[in-house]
Amino acid sequence: MKNKLFVSTLVSYLGIYITMPVLSAISTKAHLIPSQIGIMISCGAFAMLLFAPLWGKISDRWGRRRVIVTGMLGMGLFFILYIFLFQLSISTNKSVSLLIYGLIGTRFLLGIFMTTTPTAASAYMADISAPQDRAKDMASLGFATGLAMVLGPMIGGAVSTIGNLYTPFYLTIVVLLAFSVIMVVILPRRQAASVAENKNKFEELPKNKTSGFFSIELFGWLLAGCSVMFIVVVLQLITSLFLHDNFGQTVTQSAQTASLLFFILGIALMAVQVLQMKVLQWTAKKMMVVGIPLIIVGMLLTALTNLYYLIFVSYILIGAGAGLGISSLSAGCSLAVSEDQQGAVAGTVAMIQGIAGIVSPLLGSWLYQLNSQLPFILFGCFSLLSYVIFLIVTKKK
């Protein structure tokens, strides 16, 4: 069952990342100007922010299986509308306002379903994982996320080279719709049956007293998670600009180097998650305690060094720290609330991606205009502040 949840999370995130390498290019061909592209992507993130908690609560009522399938099916259907509007806009000789608004609106509708499957899968994993296994099992879902971050752009870039800018979208549609059918077949119809398999394991463990949903402990976990996600998102925006402005690379060279850095970051992220699952098996808190300092060191090292090779070292540190932080976030939040609140807390955790998708690009770009080192320093300082608060509010644990 846990392998099925890993696959569902991987496929859902691949649905996002396969199209990312060509999204700006196809949007430009569709007559969107850069500010409109930014608005379109932010609308998707805003929808994730609004609807992720709602999907978590719906999964508590409908069941995880229905929500997992709904997420994949919804993404697949709205990707069909998305690519249709792109084709229609590209076929015109000029910008058509109605089509531009349609693309922005469709991205918002896509955003509604982008966190649906991962939210339900995370809640389902919490349902069937014993507390002492929670960190390890949640790390597998984090590994699925990291794997999608690395494989998605590689697959999208490869198929666009073989075909055209539309090909990654076609592939995404086929994969999402196919797996929505597959999940209907392979996921158990009665969620209670899957949970019952682990019931005896749960009963043998000492009962932990969990905090209420609006507890200071949960706030500490969410704040720490925000600091991790903010940095992962802002780096996607400023890395190529930083290389161009501080190391004298051309636009093409900076884009190529940035792609390499994100590949290295993704590999480090996945490697540390595999290490956590197979060897370390740390508690959720220990992962966050180790992860955030690695991120802080990586961010400050990037800002303060003028040595090219140290940039690669810093991105390895950030990737390793992000791998630990992302994996521990779901597990820590899950353990901070009662068993009947797992769907709601999974949705709240997924909401962090939407917050990061909105706040990081806006704040990061503004800070970068003031000084190219400023985003690295201030986001690193925010992580440090979040880390101190996290240590204080989780001290009893």
pLDDT digits (tens, 9 = 90+) for 119-138: 899 888 888 888 777 777 77
Domain boundaries, the chain: 1-196, 210-397
Q: How far apart are CA 300 and CA 295, in angstroms?
A: 9
- Taking 50 as the pLDDT cut, the residues of the chain under it are 193-196, 199, 201-211
CB count in 10 Å sphere of residue 157? 16
Q: What is the pLDDT of residue 333?
A: 85
CB 171 within 8 A of CB 18: yes
When the candidates are 2.40.50.100, 1.20.1250.20, 3.40.50.150, 2.60.120.260, the CATH number that belongs to 210-397 is 1.20.1250.20
pTM: 0.76
| pLDDT tens-place string over residues 24-78 | 788 888 998 877 887 888 888 889 888 888 888 898 888 889 999 999 999 999 9
What does the alpha-carbon distance between residue 328 and residue 331 come to, in Å, rounded to a whole number? 5
Environment class of 303 (CB within 10 Å of its CB; exposed 0-12, middle 13-18, buried 19+): buried
Residue 51: both structure tokens together: 């609807």
What is the per-residue pLDDT for 214?
Answer: 61
Please report the pLDDT score of residue 213 as a whole number.
55
Same fold, 1-196 and 210-397: yes
Superfamily of domain 1-196: MFS general substrate transporter like domains (1.20.1250.20)
Q: Which pLDDT score, from 0 to 100, does residue 204 have?
A: 46
